[in-house]
Amino acid sequence: MSIKRSRVLKLMLFMAVVTAMCWYVGWKRAEFLKGPVMQPVVSLPTEDSRETDFFVESRLERESARSLEIERLREILGSNTADARTKSEAHARYLALSRESAKETQIEQLVKARGYEDAVAFIGQSSLVLVVKADELPQIWPG
């Protein structure tokens, strides 16, 4: 039992570090692309319907953004003007997006299987953001 608890604690610490990294990378990426800067979420709504909407809308936004990227990658792959290296990179990114999508779904299902009502995961190139719907999360550090 203590080994499982230790693993859970390590996983939660890892997720916290990855979340911080993702936040930083996302912020810098937005600055680099000179696109709209994402504002941090100050708080989640307290009503059940709004909380459900947050998770549903987050998944829809994630899939919409991913669909746009896949569409651009397909254009590159079908282009007659793109060189072999560009097509190879586009193909690799296309496969990575597919793996990321499957991993996000798996992570969300695992969190729900642990008894949490809902979760949404976002995987970046070297990061993971996991939002869990819960009244209370287990304490990371024993006190």
Q: Which long-range contacts (CB under 8 A, 24 or more apart) does 98-104 make?
A: 101/66, 104/62
What pLDDT does residue 78 have?
Answer: 93
Beta-bridge mates of residue 133: 118
What pLDDT does residue 34 have?
Answer: 42
In CATH terms, 2-38+48-133 corresponds, of 1.20.1090.10, 1.10.287.4300, 3.20.20.70, 2.40.50.420, to 1.10.287.4300
What pLDDT does residue 36 have?
Answer: 39
38 close to 26: Cβ distance less than 8 angstroms: yes
* pLDDT tens by residue, 47-74: 555 555 899 999 999 999 999 999 999 9
The segments of the chain whose pLDDT lies below 50 read 30, 32-44, 141, 143
Residue 50: other Cβ atoms inside 10 A = 11
Domain range list for the chain = 2-38+48-133
pTM above 0.75, yes or no: no
- d(Cα 127, Cα 19) in Å, to the nearest integer? 7
Beta-bridge mates of residue 122: 129
